[in-house]
A and B are shown apart, each in its own frame.
Chain A
Amino acid sequence: MLKRFLHRVWDWVDDRTGLPAMIGRMATHLVPPDAKWWYVFGSATLCAFMIQVVTGIALAFSYIPSASEAYATLHFISSEAPFGHFLRGLHYYGASAMVLMVGLHMAQVFLAGSYKFPRELNWATGVLLLAFTLVMGFTGQLLRGDQNAVWTVVVAAEQAGRAPFIGQWLAHVILGGDTVGGATLTRFFAIHVFILPGFIFAFVGLHLWLVLRHGISEPPKPGKPVDPKTYRREYQELIEKSGKPFWPDAAWRDVVFCVAMIVVIALLAMVSGAPQLGKAPDPGIIDATPRPDWYFMWYFAVLALLPPETERYLIIYGPLLVGMVLISLPFLFNRGERSPRQRPWAIAVVLMIVLMITTLWVEGVKSPWSPNFKAQPLPASVVGATNGPVFLGAQLFDDKGCLNCHMIADDGGRRGPDLTEVADRLSKNQMILRIANGAGNMPAYAANLTPAQMDALVTFLQTRKRQLP
């Protein structure tokens, strides 16, 4: 009885809206039979985005996008609101998953040559979605509204400031005025919560429409190049001969992978939680160690390691060039072999990018170029003296900032060479020359040390020799 009633309701909705039939047609569109686990990353990205939408809306119920109150509401969400800490964790690891999945999706599509004819615009809209995702990550970090957020805005504004002609104006727009202030956060809030999600929804729609229009690309076969003249017909034949309905033959993998991803995100949110809030967003607090979230850690390293003379160009033109290369890729190479086995350079490019980002990321985490402000004065056991010139020299080593950048016995910074055994490498005179004149990354101390101080410092350094067993 009830079943019959529900059937009638369903039929009525179908008749009046046409939606069930349309959605049914889309869901069961035929896909190539061998589209297996490699094909889950796109839907996983969408799944992560949906997590972001749901958790983001929930967070917005308690978040006040005001420079003076955002930080307090973040504290409230993190430590007082029921489930608040967990929710923030979901939003943070959801963002992380989205960045990761969009990267994997892109690598997979690139390796399989799926961006070639007729799917050039699938790729181009995907590149835009990648850009939106990264800007979402960046603006999301800012909305935390803590000290790190303030300096992140500043670092972004400084980079924009290097642009020719409009640099100062762009920086001004990013800061929301002449300085960080009341206007900064609200603008980023509007961008993060309204503008970018709107763009993402629109472009995801377009992206999916293109997937339906051109069909999911078949797994590439070596020796079977894409020829725009025949590709469509061949694809049509393949689909008609052996295509499987997307739902449920292929979709079950997407569902399983998406749910597995949600489980991992939830576990991470529960176990390690969202990043701790930093100090208050007071640009007048000088004691700060600004660091980006993990997905930009590698770029933080890029900014530290760029040769200074090329920096002012690369900061602006580097990302622009990368964006242009990515967008134009399918228009330059829209035919030919798809299989990665026939395109070794494609594998090489992906490996190189992964290696480059990983290496830079590790460097970013260590950030050896940053002075170590937490270095402790060297203990007597390391110095080997409690008075006399060696002791004085060790004190100067700490006082004059040497320890901030140089290691001795595992204490100190990593900017300059480790000086634990420096006396084995440098004579007294060589030391004096270096200390007095400095180098590219070392200040010159000639005007900063009296002759007696220089003498004590070098006497101390001359005792830094390999310990004989």
Chain B
Amino acid sequence: MNEPNHEPPSTGCPASPAELSRRKFLARLSLAVGGLGAVIVTVPVAGFLLAPFFVRRQEVWRSVGKIESFKIGATSAVNYEDPSPLPWAGVTAHTAAWLRRVNADTFIAFSINCTHLGCPVRWLPKANLFMCPCHGGVYYEDGTVAAGPPPLPLPRYPVRVKDGEVQIQTSPFPITK
């Protein structure tokens, strides 16, 4: 192949030592000043992109219904909203839990997310099992693993009864370690 000539154009006369050291200085100066410019632009960009990940969000209690609307022994899906969603989040701000009324005033709130890869598990009320639609994970009534690939039991969320309302505390998405 014919390689184009990559040599810099000749400067005419050979450079003197003073000229060479001046050139070295100018090259270093340009790199240093250029680097400063890059930092001025990059730092705020990196900060803007990364800062949200270092803010701990404030979890809140969300009412999911009146206590009498839950039958003792039954497990039902409840929907609630994330804490302080972005104004344009739309329906993506919603989340769900499987809520079981164990007795008059005890509730358990299970995460709907399979501990394998996070897919939403379904409760089969007659079979008393949670089943995952993705890779076949199955959990017993108490959330322990019954079958398939899940490494951990279904996580539980804090739940309380306040002023006749059942409330679930919002939680970050449960990511299996």
- Listed in ascending order, the chain A residues whose CB lies under 8 Å from chain B are 29, 66-69, 150-151, 154-155, 157-159, 161-162, 167-169, 171-173, 175-185, 212-213, 215, 236, 239, 280-290, 300, 303-304, 306, 308, 311-312, 369-371, 373, 399-401, 404-405, 415, 438-444, 448
Contact = CB atoms under 8 A, between A and B. Distances in A.
Given A157-B118, A181-B93, A288-B120, 15 more contacts: A151-B118, A151-B119, A155-B118, A155-B134, A158-B116, A172-B172, A179-B172, A182-B89, A182-B90, A182-B93, A283-B96, A303-B135, A373-B122, A441-B136, A443-B146
Nearest to B139: A443
Contacts, number: 190
B66 interface: no
A456 to B, nearest CB: 14
B92 interface: yes
B51 to A, nearest CB: 12
A29 B148 CA distance: 58
A213 B1 contact: yes
Nearest to A442: B147
B133 A373 contact: yes
A22 B133 CA distance: 57
B112 to A, nearest CB: 6
A199 B129 CA distance: 47
B131 A68 contact: no
B128 A290 contact: no
A415 B151 CA distance: 18
B140 interface: yes
Contacts of A306: 149
A289 to B, nearest CB: 5
Interface string B110-127: 001100111111101011
Interface string B135-146: 110101100001
B14 to A, nearest CB: 30
B175 A158 contact: yes
B177 A161 contact: yes
Contacts of B126: 399-401
B94 to A, nearest CB: 4
Contacts of A282: 91-92, 94
Given A284-B95, A401-B129, A69 B90 contact: yes
A311 B88 contact: no
A419 B15 CA distance: 91
Residue from the set A179, A215, A282, A370 with the largest chain B CB neighbour count within 10 Å:
A179
Given A172-B53, A179-B172, A441-B136, A66 B120 contact: no
A188 to B, nearest CB: 12
26 contacts: A67-B89, A68-B88, A68-B91, A154-B113, A154-B119, A162-B177, A172-B172, A181-B92, A182-B90, A183-B52, A281-B90, A283-B94, A284-B94, A286-B112, A289-B133, A300-B134, A304-B135, A304-B149, A311-B149, A369-B135, A369-B148, A370-B136, A399-B126, A441-B147, A442-B146, A448-B141
A167 B175 contact: yes
Given A236-B1, A284-B96, A158 B133 contact: no
Contacts of B74: none
Contact of A290 (B80, B85, B134, B141): B134
A181 B89 contact: yes
A398 B53 CA distance: 46
Contacts of B131: 371, 373, 401, 404
Given A171-B175, A448-B127, A182 B85 contact: yes
Given A175-B173, A308-B149, A158 B1 contact: no
Given A161-B177, A443-B138, A311 B82 contact: no
B173 A179 contact: yes
B169 interface: no
Given A151-B120, A154-B118, A312-B151, A67 B92 contact: yes
Most buried by A among B122, B129, B148: B148
A212 B116 CA distance: 47
Contacts of B18: none
B175 A69 contact: no
B149 A401 contact: no
Contacts of A442: 146-147
B154 to A, nearest CB: 13
A157 B175 CA distance: 8
B57 interface: yes
B1 A215 contact: yes
Contacts of A182: 85-90, 92-93
Given A154-B113, A280-B91, A288 B133 contact: yes
